[in-house]
Amino acid sequence: MNVIGCVPDGWWRDRAGALRGLVDAAAAHDFGDWVVIVADGFPVADLAAGTRGEVELRYAGRRDPDAADDVIVELVSEVRADDDERLRVVTSDRGLRARLTALDVEVVGPRSFRAELGW
């Protein structure tokens, strides 16, 4: 909820709708790269995990506070093991930022990412 929650636009009244908005905005944007959105918890109604263009939505599969963070670090570690690609992760979470910095990952704040999306 980092990217969604950085703007107080009422997202908490419709978390599924807010996630859908993020996925739609990301899918409409031409990144030129693969994008993975990792959401906390389990799939929400009408928004299954999967790929939309160059955007993949994954769910953490658990609800504890670091669930999505752990999935992100695991994913980054897998990619790093296979390739030395430039990786960029969007988060405002200090703990996750520290974990990613140790893995030599570029970390971007959610407001700048939302501005990039125009969302």
Report, in angstroms and rounded to the nearest whole number, the Rg of the chain calculated over CA atoms.
Answer: 14
pLDDT at 8 over 90: no
Closest CA to 2 of 111, 119, 118, 115: 111
Task: Characterize the bridge pairing of strands 35-39 and 55-59.
Answer: parallel
* Angstrom distance (rounded) from CA 27 to CA 21: 10
Residue-wise pLDDT for 56-98, tens only, equals 999 999 999 899 999 999 999 998 777 777 889 999 999 999 9
Please give the average per-residue pLDDT across 22-26, as a whole number: 95
- What Cα–Cα distance (Å) separates residue 55 from each residue in 13, 34, 95, 104? 25, 6, 25, 23
Asked whether the beta carbons of 76 and 103 are under 8 A apart, the reply is: yes
Residue 82, pLDDT score: 74
